[in-house]
Amino acid sequence: MPNANPVAEVWKYRGLIGNFASRELKGQYKGSALGSLWALANPLATLGIYSLVFGFFLKFPPRTSGNGELASFPLFLFTALVVWNFFNNVTTGSMGALVNAGPLLRKIYFPPFAPVFGSAIAALNQTAIEFGLLLVVLLIFGNVSWTWLLLPVLLLLLAAFAVGIGMFLAMLNARYRDVHHIVGVVLSFFFYTAPIVYPIALVRDKYAEHPWLELYEWNPLTVFVESFRNVLWDLQFPGWGNMGYMLLWSAVALGGGWLFFQSRSRDVSEEL
């Protein structure tokens, strides 16, 4: 019988969630020549392409780092790209995880949220590798401050936000397979409407001419990306307003996603 307490329910199946995470990690690079090295090769290749296009050809100017010594566009870009990669991997991975668990769900009972949470943990493993690489480079250049201590808090809020949206999309995709393709288009829109490949100053400079553009700052992904950059690149506290805004979005997304998923999970195996 499902537990009324979501935390207790997830904790009860922690072993199964871990098994799904382990299975996904083992399957990601199975049969490839480089194996787990792709976990580093893929984000570095993406970073190189964006740096060439937006940093070299389009010459988007990065703001100077908190220690006043760094003005590297690739590093400035990487602090935001890691955040986006995690959000993108969790939301899109949740849909695939639930669909792939369909044959197993039709044979034996287990809570459908288990593969979704397992997929999120696998994405977190990839993010840990990328953040580890970023922190080592920033440490070498001496761009370090107490603000780094806020990184786990921001990651927790981002994870809650991404998992909540991922659960909502996973259940919708189980019923309507077009959702997966629509989400790909929508995520491309959000990627370029958040300050990831360009500094937010380029948008703020146009507020006087186009006041409606200030809606840009209400995009939760804009707040998440800028807060991570504040902590790791600017070495500044993001501000209580931004922290409260991220907490609100995380709670609404996770709570809403969980309720929506659980209310439709009873007969989801028939849809998979």
Q: With 0-12 CB in 10 A as exposed, 13-18 as middle and 19+ as buried, what is 43?
A: buried
Q: Is the pLDDT of residue 126 over 80?
A: yes
Average pLDDT over residues 64-85: 91
Distance CA 173, CA 98 (A): 9
- Average pLDDT over all residues of the chain: 90
Please tell me the distance from the alpha carbon of residue 167 to that of residue 5, in angstroms, as a whole number.
Answer: 17
The amino acid that residue 182 corresponds to is I
pLDDT grade for 159, boundaries at 50, 70 and 90: very high
Position 20 scores a pLDDT of: 92
Q: What is the mean pLDDT of residues 33-37?
A: 70
As a dihedral over the C-alpha atoms of residue 255, residue 24, residue 156, residue 109, rounded to 10 degrees, the angle is: 30
Percentage of the chain with pLDDT > 90? 64
Q: What pLDDT is recorded for position 3?
A: 60
Task: Give the pLDDT score at 151.
Answer: 96
Higher-confidence position of 211 and 247: 247
Mean pLDDT, rounded, for 129-151: 93
**For residue 72, how far is the Cα from the chain centroid?**
23
> What is the pLDDT, as a whole number, of residue 80?
93
56-to-24, 81, 87 alpha-carbon distances in Å: 36, 17, 26
Report the alpha-carbon distance of residue 21 to residue 40 in Å, rounded.
19
pLDDT value at residue 131: 92
The predicted pLDDT at position 1 comes to 53
Residue 2 has pLDDT above 60, yes or no: no
Confidence of residue 26 (pLDDT cuts 50, 70, 90): confident
Per residue in 212-264, pLDDT tens? 888 999 999 999 999 999 999 999 999 999 999 999 999 999 999 999 999 98
- List, for residues 94-110, the tens digit of each pLDDT value: 999 999 998 888 888 88
| Segment 180-205 mean pLDDT | 92
Contact 257, 167 (CB under 8 A): yes
Give me the percent of the chain exceeding a pLDDT of 70.
97
- Is residue 201 within 8 A of residue 60, CB to CB? The reply is no
